[in-house]
């Protein structure tokens, strides 16, 4: 009998790094983006859904210090993002909605090696690690390709490879399937399910979350629901119908 994907994932996910938000608010100019949010995020797969402009992307950017709270504290592995942002970003990888925005180097292998160079690894080790990750994702054939010639699905896989090469403990995905066709969306969904790392995914793709452990619904800068995928999706659909 084939194991359930959630059971396989739980077996690979050893222990959470420890992400905690304590009464966090974010303001820009006179606008409140997030208001008084307290959360502990320990599950292997956490989804975040909600309408555009609700604060979802700001919420996940708090987790690796791309955004700092106006008030309150965000802790990752018992470190404050306000004081240890650089080290936290090594532990918390980020895959953006548009992978072209994070692919820097002209050639795929060089792009994956770029972050490893900043970590001080010698070139031989960088190339070895890059080729290992490309092979794990089944995209070794892209190693010598020019980045600008890749399809949207290929770019998304290369962006994931670059993050995985850094060996983070958590990977955040911000709308990872928005630019993908159905075939590439299903492929990327499988890759997320296979990850040993904790994954936190912002998405409008509700089907992507069906096998997750927990889903948060963000509306008007607050967590309006926190529960199982089925419960959260039902709440969000009912909320959307009333708006």
How many residues are there in the chain?
Answer: 243
The pLDDT value recorded for residue 1 is: 40
Helix (H) and strand (E) counts for the chain? 8, 10
Site of tokens 């010698």: 122
Site of tokens 């942002």: 85
pTM score: 0.91
> What CA–CA distance (Å, rounded) separates 198 from 213?
11
101 touches 111 (CB < 8 A)? no
Going by C-alpha positions, the residue among 39, 41, 37 that lies closest to residue 16 is 41
3 state SS of 227: strand
The pLDDT value recorded for residue 10 is: 47
Site of tokens 């994070």: 102
Q: pLDDT means per 10 residues in the chain (243 residues)?
A: 47 78 94 96 97 96 96 96 93 92 94 90 94 95 95 93 95 92 91 95 95 97 97 97 87
What region does 29 belong to: left with phi over 0, alpha with psi -120 to 50, or beta? left
The pLDDT value recorded for residue 100 is: 87
**CATH no. for 17-242:** 3.40.50.300
The string of DSSP letters for 70-123 reads SEEEEEETTEETTT-HHHHHHHEEEE-SSGGGT--SSBHHHHHHHHHHHTT--H
The pLDDT value recorded for residue 120 is: 85
The pLDDT value recorded for residue 9 is: 46
Maximum distance among all alpha carbons in the chain?
Answer: 57
């Amino acid at each position: 009998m084939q194991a359930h994907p959630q059971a396989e994932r739980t077996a690979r996910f050893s222990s959470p790094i420890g992400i905690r938000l304590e009464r966090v608010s974010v303001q820009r100019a006179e606008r409140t983006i997030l208001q008084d949010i307290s959360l502990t995020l320990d599950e292997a797969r956490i989804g975040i859904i909600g309408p555009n402009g609700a604060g979802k992307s700001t919420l996940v950017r708090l987790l690796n210090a791309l955004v700092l709270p106006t008030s309150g504290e965000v802790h990752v592995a018992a470190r404050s993002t306000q004081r240890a942002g650089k080290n936290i970003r090594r532990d918390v990888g980020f895959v953006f909605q548009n992978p072209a925005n994070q692919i820097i180097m002209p050639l795929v292998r060089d792009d994956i090696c770029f972050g490893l160079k900043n970590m001080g690894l010698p070139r031989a080790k960088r190339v070895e690690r890059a080729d290992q990750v490309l092979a794990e994702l089944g995209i070794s054939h892209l190693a010598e390709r020019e980045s600008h010639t890749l399809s949207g699905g290929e770019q998304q896989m290369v962006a994931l490879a670059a993050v995985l090469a850094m060996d983070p403990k958590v990977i955040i995905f911000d709308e990872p399937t928005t630019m993908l066709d159905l075939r590439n969306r299903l492929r990327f969904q499988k890759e997320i399910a296979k990850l040993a790392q904790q994954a936190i995914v912002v998405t409008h793709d509700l089907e992507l979350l069906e096998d997750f452990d927990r889903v948060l619904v963000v509306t008007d800068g607050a967590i309006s629901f926190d529960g199982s995928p089925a419960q959260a999706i039902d709440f969000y659909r009912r909320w959307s119908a009333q708006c």
